[in-house]
Structure 1
Amino acid sequence: MGAARGFRAMIVGPPGCGKGFVAQMMVQTYGAVHISTGDMLRDHIRYRTSLGKLVEQYTTRGQLVPDHLLTRMVTDAIRKAGNRNYILDGFPRNINQARTLDSMVSLDFVLDLFLPMQAIMARLRTRLVHPESGRVYNDHGDMAPRVPGRDDITGERLVRRADDISPAIVWARQRQYVKEAYPVIHHYTQQNILHTILARQHESMVPLVKRYLAKRWPKRELRRFRPQRRIELVCNQPTKCRGSS
């Protein structure tokens, strides 16, 4: 028999629904590797990897990163995750990427975080971000920082994303999400691995996710794996990456 492996999961949902919160809960609870395309793109650029230099040619011109580069990046991260539990966040973003992923690996489950549009708009108006780490907060409620306007870990100042401030931009992002994500959601619904969770309150999602995992994935295999640092997903030799500690 082969070595026991962890779950292979994906999280999907519109901007502002709490994907990062749920992913971090799974990291802390199950030792899952959070394979976030947004984080990895920023890290590849920050550490000046060969892929990061290619990606930067597109991002500096305001262009979308091509599918083949995203697929290459995610494939490498999945390989590095090995037999650990892992959760994909931000990939696949469209049906072509989903079909490509199917040819590489079979997902065990997909978490679909649903939030009505008006609730999304209200949440994004109060969202705060720690630029360096990507940690997300809100001005008030269950995601408020311990010290107003400051990151809980570093104490550094939190900022508002420019694309959260403009209602026109927020609506455009939501329309783009619907256009691309709904075929992906239908794709995984047909595979009978998609589970929808109402994402009204961040803390209320935690027991819902845990309850679902206890049913979907054998409890005896919901074991913690060694945590993996973000830098390990983008740097083959982390100590030699520029700016690493």
Structure 2
Amino acid sequence: MFVSVCLMARMRGFRALIMGPPGSGKGYVSDMIVKTFGAVHIAAGDILRKHIHQGTALGKHAFHMISQGKLVPDHLLHGVIATAVYKAEDRNFILDGYPRNLAQAKHLQGLVKLDMVINLNIPDEAIVNMLKNRLVHMPSGRVYNEGSAAPRVPGHDDVTGDPLTRRVDDHPKVVQARLAAFDKQMQPVIRFYMKQNILYTITGRQHRNLWPLVHKFLKKRWIKRSVRPFRPPRNLDLVKLC
């Protein structure tokens, strides 16, 4: 009897979520986790920016919402994350930039069982000072800082040589407003994961100081490969499973 490969149970890797306010270094810490422990980095923001840069239907819709100052709809993010999680298959992964509210956290719980949630905690004033010097290569999502991690050629990406840009929302007043909104929005999510006993908060002054603490913490807890089976939920929100 033929059995669809999509429905076959398979062994799965370690699944972690990284959270933190804008500018806390989630991308940097995630990249270091990928290099050190071997994992797929699922970054919601990077995926959306890639679609916007490529001009896909999803990207056009996301750009339209963002340009109007609106949030990307939950149902769109659900599909993006579900697809990325499914493509990760049985490999270790680190999820970044999703969920951003309690409804998304509950939706994610129905999609995948997380092993750990890493919560990065940096003082607001340190984040404001760091973001005002941030430079970004928009197509790739690579981030530089004029003070602590400057590009080799000022104003240009190390890999492509493309000009770097500043995000409009990195202005100090905008950052302060974003931090206040983030705190209000994410407190229910933090409590949600605390109740599950999978939330671990790591505190530091800047993301490059946080990484050694995260590394020390993960060395004791990161599981290279788990023995629990993974079976995609029947209602997985994908355009195409196979």
Q: TM-score, normalised by structure 2?
A: 0.83
Deviation (angstroms), 1:175? 1.1
Residues 1:97 and 2:104 are matched in the alignment: yes
Residue 233 of structure 2: aligned partner: none
Q: What is the CA–CA distance in structure 2 between the aligned matches of 1:126 and 1:50, rounded to whole Å?
A: 33
Residue 154 of structure 2: aligned partner: 148
Deviation (angstroms), 1:66? 1.0
Find the partner of 1:178 among 166, 170, 183. 183
SS in 1 for 2:209: helix
SS in 2 for 1:171: helix
In 2 relative to 1, CA 54–157 (structure 1 residues): closer, same or farther, beyond 3 Å? closer
Q: What is the CA–CA distance in structure 2 between the aligned matches of 1:50 and 1:149, rounded to whole Å?
A: 31
Instruction: Look up the equivalent residue of 2:185 and give its one-letter code.
Output: E
Q: What is the CA–CA distance in structure 2 between the aligned matches of 1:187 and 1:16, rounded to whole Å?
A: 23
Q: What is the CA–CA distance in structure 2 between the aligned matches of 1:53 and 1:130, rounded to whole Å?
A: 19
Native 8 Å contact 2:122 2:206 kept in 1: no
SS in 2 for 1:38: helix
Find the partner of 1:221 among 200, 219, 225. 225
In 2 relative to 1, CA 177–25 (structure 1 residues): closer, same or farther, beyond 3 Å? same
Native 8 Å contact 2:44 2:96 kept in 1: yes
Find the partner of 1:62 among 59, 69, 74. 69
Deviation (angstroms), 1:3? 4.3
SS in 2 for 1:111: strand
In 2 relative to 1, CA 48–154 (structure 1 residues): closer, same or farther, beyond 3 Å? closer
In 2 relative to 1, CA 48–150 (structure 1 residues): closer, same or farther, beyond 3 Å? closer
Instruction: Look up the equivalent residue of 1:180 and give its one-letter code.
Output: Q
Residue 6 of structure 2: aligned partner: none
Task: Map Cα deviations across residues 192-227 of structure 1 (whole Å, 9 max, x no partner).
Answer: 111111242333323322222222234x539xxxxx
In 2 relative to 1, CA 105–18 (structure 1 residues): closer, same or farther, beyond 3 Å? same
Q: What are structure 1's unaligned runs of at least 5 residues?
A: 223-233, 237-245
Residue 139 of structure 1: aligned partner: 146
Deviates most, 195-204 or 115-124: 195-204
In 2 relative to 1, CA 235–156 (structure 1 residues): closer, same or farther, beyond 3 Å? farther
Deviation (angstroms), 1:57? 4.2
Residue 234 of structure 2: aligned partner: none
Runs of 4+ in 1 over 4 A off after TM superposition: none
Q: What are structure 2's unaligned runs of at least 5 residues?
A: 1-8, 227-237
Identity across aligned pairs (percent)?
Answer: 52
Residues 1:74 and 2:78 are matched in the alignment: no
Q: What is the CA–CA distance in structure 2 between the aligned matches of 1:53 and 1:180, rounded to whole Å?
A: 26
Q: TM-score, normalised by structure 1?
A: 0.82
SS in 2 for 1:221: coil
Task: Map Cα deviations across residues 76-107 of structure 1 (whole Å, 9 max, x no partner).
Answer: 11011111111111110000100111111111
Residues 1:161 and 2:167 are matched in the alignment: yes
RMSD over aligned Cα atoms: 2.4
In 2 relative to 1, CA 46–148 (structure 1 residues): closer, same or farther, beyond 3 Å? closer
Q: What is the CA–CA distance in structure 2 between the aligned matches of 1:182 and 1:171, rounded to whole Å?
A: 17
In 2 relative to 1, CA 6–116 (structure 1 residues): closer, same or farther, beyond 3 Å? same
Q: What is the CA–CA distance in structure 2 between the aligned matches of 1:150 and 1:51, rounded to whole Å?
A: 28
Q: What is the CA–CA distance in structure 2 between the aligned matches of 1:154 and 1:64, rounded to whole Å?
A: 30
Q: What is the CA–CA distance in structure 2 between the aligned matches of 1:89 and 1:38, rounded to whole Å?
A: 8
Native 8 Å contact 1:6 1:85 kept in 2: yes
Residues 1:23 and 2:30 are matched in the alignment: yes
Residue 195 of structure 1: aligned partner: 200
Deviation (angstroms), 1:235? 11
